[in-house]
Structure 1
Amino acid sequence: MNVYDFTVTTADGKEQPLDAYQGKVMLIVNTASKCGFTPQYTGLQELQKKFSEKGFTVLGFPCNQFGHQEPGTNEEIQEFCKMTYDVTFPVFGKIDVNGSEAHPLYKYLKQAVPGILNSEAIKWNFTKFLVDQKGKVVQRYAPQTTPDSIADDIEKLIGSNA
């Protein structure tokens, strides 16, 4: 099993199999528009610009489970990301990342790379999962880990396929 076995829903309600990203390095992030970490959208977009032509993409998954910091509709979230941060990477439909309603992708990510003390739970917005070109989850980053500090890890994965 790997990330390519999952299908997610786009912001406009269409099913999107993740095998569409096969061969790419991915950074999968649960996002929110009204969080102290929301300015990380800038860094995520910079990673997208820097590495997209080398086979990399950020995948954003809005989530309203942490302090109700993503209250908007999918349409409002898309507009916020585009207008405020000029986001060009895919931001999918709003999902749950914890609990019984957690999206199957997130259940898989949390099991593949547990957090501190082997806790599977996502602790807050902007938890990040780095996935290699074969769909294997290789690293989990805490919300406070800035996107620019992940650039070397992305570069190494991209380089390992060059």
Structure 2
Amino acid sequence: MKAIQDFYPEEFAHCYGCGRANARGLHLKSYVDGTETVARFTPADLYSGGYPGHVYGGMIASLLDCHGTASAAAFALRERGLEWGHGQDPIRFVTASLRIEYKRPTPLGVELVIRGSLSSLDGRKATIALSLSAADELCASAEMLAIEYRRKTRAP
């Protein structure tokens, strides 16, 4: 099964968090799972935060951010009755806001599961509910407002 990010065109494949073309990036992969989206990531020790043995908050924000925008794209495509890779123009979302609640320290070296669900879709605006868990314990939850990116066309 291909990840949502695998359908991004080359011009959008450079993201540090989820871009396949970024050699030093995290290469986060998000998948549609029924009515939700899911991504999995195991943070290495270099992502240590101020609390020993735990992930720093910026990494948690990055994972939620990349998964949230991928989720928005997948949900918008589904709502339009389309599927990835069937000749339609690429669809990408960017973050307008991301509100995170850190619930408990997130351990290093443990697989993190990031889930997304669609709260609302209104034109180019998607609101996504997100969660990040480790060993079935909720570590962070977030709400994202994502806006569909539209390419600017040049005047002739």
Alignment TM-score, normalising by the size of structure 2: 0.26
Q: Flag the structure with higher strand content.
A: 2
Q: Which has the higher contact order (CA 8 A, sep 6+)?
A: 1
- Structure number having the greater helix percentage: 1
Larger Rg: 2
